[in-house]
């Protein structure tokens, strides 16, 4: 069982629209209201939504890449991104490291501040 973290604004919206209720461990997040059980294939609904929105050349898995990219560009450390994505190996997450080149400069700046204090 995987933990699901959800944005407060999204949770509020889903509760307001009665699309989400409190869950117990083991409950599915989204249930098909027509049959009262989990959705069997969310990708087909995603494909229909893309077609209706006239979005081309976009795939379900692109959502994961977008999620990870935005986190890294916002300064979230790669270990946290790794955990949120569920990657077993940090090598998989390192593909996003080019989106945050400033992390190297920040690391050097830490040393700069240490050495500057010592020289004073």
**Closest C-alpha to 4, from 19, 17, 32, 23:** 23
Using one digit for the tens of pLDDT, what is the confidence trace for 12-61?
A: 887 776 666 666 666 776 777 788 778 788 888 889 999 999 999 999 88
For residue 117, is pLDDT > 70? no
pTM for the model stands at 0.65
Give the span between the Cα atoms of 103 and 21, in whole angstroms: 40
Residue 95 has pLDDT above 70, yes or no: yes
Closest-CA residue to 65 (of 39, 93, 45, 43): 93
């Amino acid at each position: 069982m995987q933990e699901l973290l959800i944005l407060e604004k999204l949770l509020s919206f889903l509760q307001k629209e009665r699309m989400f209720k409190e869950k117990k461990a083991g409950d599915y997040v989204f249930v098909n209201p027509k049959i009262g059980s989990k959705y069997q294939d969310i990708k087909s609904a995603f494909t229909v939504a893309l077609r209706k929105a006239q979005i081309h050349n976009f795939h379900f898995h692109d959502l994961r890449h977008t999620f990870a990219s935005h986190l890294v560009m916002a300064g979230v450390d790669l270990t946290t991104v790794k955990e949120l994505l569920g990657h077993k190996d940090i090598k998989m997450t390192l593909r996003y490291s080019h989106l945050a080149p400033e992390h190297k400069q920040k690391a050097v700046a830490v040393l700069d501040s240490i050495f500057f204090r010592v020289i004073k």
